[in-house]
């Protein structure tokens, strides 16, 4: 009898001083019953993030700081047939986990979650509403990225030199090769930056960055604008 090969999932989580936010996601993933490896790729944490990750027996990779650099490094070291990139401050529900298991079984090539925020505000609800759409312009990293390894390699993966918009960039390239899917259940994401900087101020700054990117401004210049905004 021919043996059926089980598909393996690599779950990749970039971190940088995230001990305050990562425990819930780490515990949920540890209990996720599927063929998987969980990779925490750290950009130089000086808190207890790596210590916490080590207690769960995850694969720990230390990489040069920068989200795209960290994601590219972890993807190169991963062994899964499918890759799931997650922000560390999201929360996965049972419904989310069931959909991930089905996606692995059905060999879904490209997908992401709609989102809802852990903070009630009409503008964030509007933001979450548009996350239901599959168009690449409505995709950002907090929705998670599910992608087959073959598609990831075909579209070139993450560009380690990217300093901003790396999540939308790879989704746009990948969606040119296949039709993307949107999971039905919503992913609960943290609104911590919106709380810190203000919902309108932060969201309209994001819009400005996106428009400037479409106008041809370099990612390096946009990343510098973003750093100045966060430091203000």
Q: Consecutive sets of 10 residues in the chain, 232 residues long: mean pLDDT of each?
A: 68 96 93 93 96 92 95 97 97 97 96 96 94 84 95 96 92 94 96 96 94 93 94 83
State how far Cα 231 lies from the chain centre: 23
Please tell me whether residues 31 and 52 are part of one structural domain: yes
Question: For residue 4, what pLDDT is reported?
Answer: 52
Question: For residue 42, what pLDDT is reported?
Answer: 97
Please tell me whether residues 32 and 130 are part of one structural domain: yes
Please tell me whether residues 183 and 205 are part of one structural domain: no
Please tell me whether residues 200 and 154 are part of one structural domain: no
Query: Is 40 within 8 Å of 15 (Cβ atoms)?
Result: yes
Please tell me whether residues 75 and 88 are part of one structural domain: yes
For residues 74 and 24, what is the distance between their CA atoms, to the nearest angstrom? Answer: 21
Please tell me whether residues 232 and 153 are part of one structural domain: no
Question: For residue 5, what pLDDT is reported?
Answer: 60
How far, in Å, are 29, 31, 81, 195 from residue 34 at the CA level?
A: 10, 9, 13, 35
How many domains does one find in the chain?
2
Residue 45: which of 14, 16, 88, 19 has the closest Cα? Answer: 16
Please tell me whether residues 165 and 107 are part of one structural domain: yes
28 burial type by CB count under 10 A (0-12 exposed, 13-18 middle, 19+ buried)? middle
User: pTM for this one?
Assistant: 0.94
Please tell me whether residues 53 and 112 are part of one structural domain: yes
Host domain of residue 138? 9-190
Please tell me whether residues 109 and 140 are part of one structural domain: yes
The CATH code of the domain that includes 182 is: 3.90.550.10
Angle at 163 between CA 130 and CA 223, to 5 degrees: 80
Is 73 within the bounds of a domain?
yes
SS3 (DSSP) at 62: strand
Is 50 within the bounds of a domain?
yes
Q: What is the DSSP string of 156-197?
A: T---TT--S-HHHHHHHHHTTTS--EE-SSPEEE--HHHHHH
Q: Name 11's Cβ contacts closer than 8 Å, sequence gap at least 6.
A: 29, 36, 37, 38, 39, 84, 86
């Amino acid at each position: 009898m021919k043996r059926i090969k089980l598909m393996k999932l690599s779950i990749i989580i970039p971190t940088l001083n995230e001990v305050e936010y990562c425990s819930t996601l780490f515990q949920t993933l540890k209990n996720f019953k599927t063929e998987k490896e969980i990779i925490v790729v750290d950009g130089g944490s000086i808190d207890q993030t790596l210590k916490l990750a080590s207690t769960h027996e995850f694969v720990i990779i230390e990489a040069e700081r920068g989200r795209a650099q960290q994601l590219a490094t972890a993807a190169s070291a991963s062994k899964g047939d499918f890759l799931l990139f997650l922000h560390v401050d999201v929360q996965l529900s049972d419904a989310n986990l069931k959909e991930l298991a089905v996606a692995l079984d059905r060999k879904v090539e490209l997908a992401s979650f709609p989102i809802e925020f852990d903070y009630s505000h009409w503008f964030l609800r509007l933001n979450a509403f548009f996350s239901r759409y599959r168009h690449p312009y409505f995709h950002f990293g907090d929705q998670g990225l599910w992608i087959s390894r073959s598609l990831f390699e075909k579209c070139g993966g993450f560009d380690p030199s990217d300093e901003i918009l790396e999540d939308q960039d790879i989704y746009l390239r990948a969606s040119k090769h296949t039709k993307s899917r949107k999971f039905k259940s919503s992913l609960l994401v943290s609104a911590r930056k919106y709380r810190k900087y203000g919902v309108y101020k932060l969201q309209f700054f994001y819009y400005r960055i996106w428009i400037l990117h479409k106008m041809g401004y370099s990612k390096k210049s946009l990343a510098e604008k973003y750093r100045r905004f966060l430091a203000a």
